[in-house]
Structure 1
Amino acid sequence: MPSEVSTPLAELTVEDLVGERLVYDIGFLWFDKLAKGYATFSKKEDGTYEAFLEAKTRGMAALFTQHRRQNYLARMKEGPDGTLQSLVYERHIIKGKSDYKRDRSKRYVFDYEKREIAYSRGENGEYGKTKFLPMPEEGGYYDVFTAFYNFRLGRFGKVERGKRYEIPSLSRKGPSKIVVEVLTRKQQADNELFPTSGLLCRVQVDREVFDSEGGGIFVWFDEKGRPAAGVVENVLGMGNVHGSMR
């Protein structure tokens, strides 16, 4: 399928993203605004970058979900070719408050000298036995958020309608891939959940990233190249989870 005109996503630089803070209203099942989320991108003193995403339920939804809070942290560095490389990736699911709080987490630490990735699971800040996963001799793997920012920057190639991108990633079971399909104008117009302006992408990730049945995601970028709306399909216990930027 021939590609169409390139999008504003390819015109961004890393420095354009530094300081970005996006706030979202999140809903699931048939309800809107059951949770609030925000995503930030910052530069650290050592020259690395950090992406952080948090979503937490509110109101009656907070009571029914035990004040569930879920956050993701991805630390990365800029490689010689300008591609962002994963350094640390963490996911936390937090339920309860004060003495009844439970924090379940996963962590991946990328070592490019040893060509290996250390994976561990934790609870309430204490991590168990570390499992080491091999890294390919050339290149590497990308966690979902480092891959996301690389895609926005056009580091995997010019972002064009009708194109498909396969990005090497991994899960606790080993190598996997992130697949991004940029929908054509007709495909986007046929999807009634999102505007016909901007750019709509269909993404496939490993099911463990968002605890979903199939790993399917839709992300809509507005005219400024910002991820302004999205749907994570079939999240366990919640159904489709949808968010929109404030």
Structure 2
Amino acid sequence: MAMAGPARLVRGGQKDELYRAGLRSGAGTALRGLAGARPWLQWRREVELLSDVAYFVLTTLSGYQTLGEEYVNIIQVDPSRKKVPSLLRRAAFISLHTVVPYCLEKALLHLEHELQEEGEESRSPGSGPAAALPSRTFLRSWIRRRLGQLPEQQRKTASQAVYVLKQSIPLLHRLHLALFYIHGTFYHLSKRVAGISYVSDVFRVSRVSDVVSTALLWPLLGCHVCNRDLAVGDYNGRKFFASLQSRLQVINVNVRSCKF
């Protein structure tokens, strides 16, 4: 068996995303029909998470191909490229692909909101947070208690760090996509971390076109993605990195001035 080419990985990933979107849509429609629009709006992100987890549990974790993998006829293998990934490796991939992004998104969102509210309360001491407390989740309440124990300087440092992290995550994904186009191995960052790659048992007749596509066209596409995300638009690129550099400098100064 040969390693699956990047075109197959892209088609398989797109097919999986199509089926996952249909499953999320169906679950959301069912919740909206049973509980109404308000609970659906409140729990929409969690329903999408459960739908994605269910999709991968019923396929990858159970030892079956996903619908996208079956569509392009590719098989998951571990770093040895001789065995299918272990149950622990597959579970790690599912967690990194679904649960970890959700938790990180929620944590950054709540942290950003609490930092903004802390700043508004410090500017207007007369308005208290009592009205907002009943609607707080456990995570937001825990974050608020922790932030309340920090001095003003450390809260400013945390705000700068949240900004840098939120700007860095999409950039990391785009850089990973560019690396995939250049090397053609890992389409998803979670599979790269978990060490899961693909092989294909289909004999390809157009060997010359495959070699040209893999060796030339996809690396060129990866270079184009790198150029678009990092260098295209001098104003936007320089503005982002200048802002990022200034934020990191502020964090460095604040950390040095704080006594932990």
Structure in which a larger fraction of residues adopt helix:
2
The structure with higher relative contact order (CA 8 Å, sep 6+) is 2
The normalised TM-score by structure 2 is 0.22
Structure in which a larger fraction of residues adopt strand:
1
The normalised TM-score by structure 1 is 0.23
Q: Based on CA coordinates, which of the two structures has the bigger radius of gyration? A: 2
